[in-house]
Every structure is written in structure tokens, then in C-alpha cells.
């Protein structure tokens, strides 16, 4: 399930426009070509370890509530 989640996330991320990848790259301090792999790996590891819940991820994605935990995770902190 972990590998499937990771592969699906990367596939989805690779379809994002270049401008979006460039913005995210600045946020997580990687190059635009690596954004999908790094973002997804960090997020998937956080789910696997229990550091991030689905509800927290959903709130961050929807822009409701506190995003600080999610931002720290995708920044690798």
C-alpha cells in the first residue's frame, strides 16, 4: 500500500504545471525536477510513521486549519 500511495502521488505530481513545481521547489528547498519525488516521499513517510494523519493532510490541502505540521514535513524537518 505504501508503494502504491507513493507511485500514485508521484504520477499526480508529475502532471502539475512547471510554475507550480517551481513554487513548491522553493518551499521545500529542492529543484523543480525533484519536487514530486521529494514531496511524495516525505508525505508518505509521515503517514507511515503516524506523524501525519489523513485529516491533517486534508485540512492542509483545503486550506482550513493549521498547516504548520504539514509544511514542516514536506520541508523535511
* pLDDT higher than 90, residue 14: yes
pTM: 0.82
What does the pLDDT read at residue 37? 95
* pLDDT higher than 80, residue 28: yes
Closest CA to 39 of 69, 10, 3: 10
Average pLDDT, the chain: 89
* pLDDT higher than 90, residue 69: no
CA dihedral 11, 14, 15, 18 (to 10 degrees): 170
* pLDDT higher than 80, residue 63: no
Number of domains making up the chain: 1
Domain that holds residue 54: 2-74
What does the pLDDT read at residue 31? 93
Amino acid at each position: 500500500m505504501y508503494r502504491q500511495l507513493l507511485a500514485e502521488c508521484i504520477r499526480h505530481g508529475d502532471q502539475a504545471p512547471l510554475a507550480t513545481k517551481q513554487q513548491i521547489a522553493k518551499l521545500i528547498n529542492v529543484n523543480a525536477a525533484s519536487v514530486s519525488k521529494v514531496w511524495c516521499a516525505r508525505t508518505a513517510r509521515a503517514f507511515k510513521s503516524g506523524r501525519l494523519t489523513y485529516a491533517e493532510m486534508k485540512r492542509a490541502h483545503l486550506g482550513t486549519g493549521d498547516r504548520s505540521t504539514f509544511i514542516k514535513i514536506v520541508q523535511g524537518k
